[in-house]
Amino acid sequence: MIVDTGVSFSRIAHLDALESRVVQVRSFPEESTMPVVHKSTVRRARQSVKRHARNHAALGALKSLVKKVQTAVTEKKVEDAKASLRLATSALGKAVTKGVMKPNTASRRIARLTLRVNSLSASAS
């Protein structure tokens, strides 16, 4: 079955984003539509991919810093835990500034890590 979209082939040939799109046909065969893809939409999609990669990398680095604090606490290394906590707190603050993480989430994580490190140092002394 051939569906006439009412759009010339040359009009859609230059848009790479439309290659995977499906022609949407209404209940009336004489009225069929093709989705319109604007330049800004394609640009936003490209930006979204870049931002996702950057945010994902930042969260990965953040997780490793938090794990470093947690392992230092479980191994009862007070000085390592305090040093790692300082780095993790700084990284969490930067993540909030960059928009990778919400402020309340970062505050909660900082509070919990600080509580664990402080309880470790209190029990050690």
Encoded tokens for 75: 């191994």
| Closest by Cα among 31, 51, 47, 50 to 39 | 47
State the pLDDT at residue 121.
87
Domains assigned to the chain? 55-124 (1.20.58.110)
**Burial of 31 (C-beta count, 10 Å sphere; 0-12/13-18/19+):** exposed
Q: What is the pLDDT of residue 6?
A: 53
Q: What's the confidence (pLDDT) of residue 43?
A: 92
Q: CA 75 to CA 70: how far, in whole Å?
A: 9
- Measured CA to CA, the distance from residue 60 to residue 76 in angstroms comes to 24
Q: Exposed e or buried b for every residue in 16-30, given b needs 16+ CB within 10 A?
A: eebeeeeeeeeeeee
Return the number of other C-beta atoms located less than 10 Å from residue 56's C-beta: 11
Block mean pLDDT (10 aa), the chain, length 125? 49 46 51 75 92 95 97 95 97 96 98 96 82
Please provide the DSSP assignment of 75-124 as one string: TT-HHHHHHHHHHHHHHHHHHHHHTSS-HHHHHHHHHHHHHHHHHHHHHH
